[in-house]
Structure 1
């Protein structure tokens, strides 16, 4: 009802404010109750009321103009402030996502820090136990330096168990790596101790530690043990002075024998080989570990034999050294390594060489003396002294008339005396052949002397040369033969060879061939009539 009325009252003005204003709606309702008279007076009343309101407004404005001005200024300022606030709000809306992201980052970081804080708190509470774990490598090093290998082994096993149980923890891996580095130091210390002079209990202890370390297999451990003990033996041998090779050889024999026997005892006690025990299926597929020691022992004995061969080159007396070496070889018979058959050829070679050198020296001295010797105007000497003819090993006195022969027989006796102390039966033929060659050379020298001086020979000189040849043939040569039979008795040699003495003589074993020796001077010897020993038969 009010809407049509408003439209009829205000045809040109239509506003929702008029339609929906409650005051307007109440006024229109009240207006609908007026009579016509009141309706006619209503515009005047409204005008008068409007004038009164206007006057009141003017009076109010005049009275409160300052307030209005302040209100206007305040409104203006409020408008400006609201603009600033709007800009700030826009900026805030733009920064809110960044702030939200920063808050999320802060929450994440603070969460990680909180986890670290809890870890640090736990670490602080367990600091004593952690410190003990961190000090394990240092403690391991201290054990090893102090020689407490049992404690070091137990500590290392403890660390390895920790590492295997907590393999995901980097700390245990680092500690395990550090302990392994110190572990290598312990290995070097144990091996270096094996290169020193050790008693059997100490050897057992060191090898026991190496076994527990489980670095070497059983064959490798045996090789390491033998290498270390070889180093100790070589140190002892290298410390010997080589100024006197005979003294060096004597000490080498003693040191090698004693140390090899000690190493043998230690090896047998530690590894307990039983070469006679039957092989099991597993053993047959692996290396025969007993061969390791035997091969090593043969190597050490070969090295000893090389040293023996080198040092014997200057030896002149072999008896004492030979006895020591044979005792050395005999002592290793129990371990199945009797190397005496290897020693004999070496001594035989050097004894032969020494004998040949001595005979060669005798030959050179004779040649030098015979060049100065002359038979011109030689007279029959008078020898005032005589020796007991029963003394078989004293040279004939007739040799004193001719000093080259006397000096020659002395040199030959020196060579035979050296040979007599240690005469190898294997050298019988070489000794006889060497002496035969030497005396053939002497006979040729005598023949050369005769050829050079025969034109100047007087009767006395010729007689002297004849005596010289006879002295060589009838005195010197039989005496040398006698000396050979003293060193090598024919009956003894015949027994060894299982033949008769007659066979020895026929084969020229221990017997000089007199005819070949005196052949160069046979024309200067007087003709001898041998008795007829044949027996007629009827």
Structure 2
């Protein structure tokens, strides 16, 4: 669609100017400033409105990046006939990227809550490093700590965070850094609130309480720092 829009709009503008090249009526500064200009602006505005409607429906960061590349190429090509609209694209795609990340973080929190509600508090075999040594790993290592496997609800949440980050990678905008960080903090706070609510509404036996506290400790000492490391 984008390529067809570029080709057709480019051809119409060039043909119009070729047909009316001998029209000397009006001042030079108003040349092509009437019907052609209005029609061209209508086409570009319609194209941008279509993008505004369709972009929130895209669920993959790679697809957003691909569409952005096509739109930038389209706008650059139309720049040859004075219709470069690249400056109007960033706000549309920034909103779409933020919306995508926000939805993925909400999904990560929802999956964590489901996993927590259905979790059976039974001891699991120790995996990887103990919690007090995980923080000593390299800050550049974004591999999820194997210790999280001892706490399945947290593993579900971190998988969701990793998925959200991976979708963000192809279309990350530096202008969204602080806003995306707030979305990540919002997700972590939602997990913390879920743990507090669980603690106040559930009656656990002594051994179950110990496992729950271990999960809370893993969230603070492992999951939270790992999420910050992934964000960079």
Structure 1 471/272 Cα, relative in aligned 2: closer, same or farther at 3 Å?
farther
Map 1:279-428 onto structure 2 (within 5 A): 283-284=26-27, 288-292=30-34, 293-317=36-60, 318-375=64-121, 378-379=122-123, 381-383=125-127, 392-428=141-177
For 2:191 and 2:222, how far apart are their aligned partners in 1?
14
Max radius of gyration: which structure?
1
CA contact (8 A) 2:108 2:161 kept: yes
CA contact (8 A) 1:330 1:338 kept: yes
1:212-255 Cα offsets, whole Å, 9 max, x none, are xxxxxxxxxxxxxxxxxxxxxxxxxxxxxxxxxxxxxxxx1111
Moved over 4 A (4+): none
Map 1:229-244 onto structure 2 (within 5 A): none
For 1:477 and 1:322, how far apart are their aligned partners in 2?
32
- Could you say which structure has the greater relative contact order, defined with CA pairs below 8 angstroms and 6 or more residues apart? 2
CA contact (8 A) 2:145 2:222 kept: yes
CA contact (8 A) 1:273 1:290 kept: no
CA contact (8 A) 2:10 2:81 kept: no
CA contact (8 A) 2:128 2:147 kept: no
For 1:273 and 1:420, how far apart are their aligned partners in 2?
51
CA contact (8 A) 2:14 2:81 kept: no
Map 1:41-80 onto structure 2 (within 5 A): none
Q: Aligned pair 1:254/2:34, yes or no?
A: no
Partner SS, residue 283 of structure 1: coil
1:370, CA displacement in angstroms?
1.4
Which of 190, 205, 210 is matched with 1:441 structurally? 190
For 1:273 and 1:475, how far apart are their aligned partners in 2?
73
Question: How many correspondences in the alignment?
Answer: 221
Q: Aligned pair 1:469/2:216, yes or no?
A: yes
1:343-401 Cα offsets, whole Å, 9 max, x none, are 111111111112111111122222222111243xx32522279xxx6672211111111
For 2:150 and 2:172, how far apart are their aligned partners in 1?
32
State which drifts further: 286-295 or 317-326: 286-295
For 2:124 and 2:200, how far apart are their aligned partners in 1?
21
1:273, CA displacement in angstroms?
8.2
For 1:408 and 1:430, how far apart are their aligned partners in 2?
20
5+ long unaligned stretches in structure 2: 130-136
> With structure 1 as the length reference, what TM-score do the two structures score?
0.38
1:256, CA displacement in angstroms?
0.3
5+ long unaligned stretches in structure 1: 1-251, 275-279, 486-538
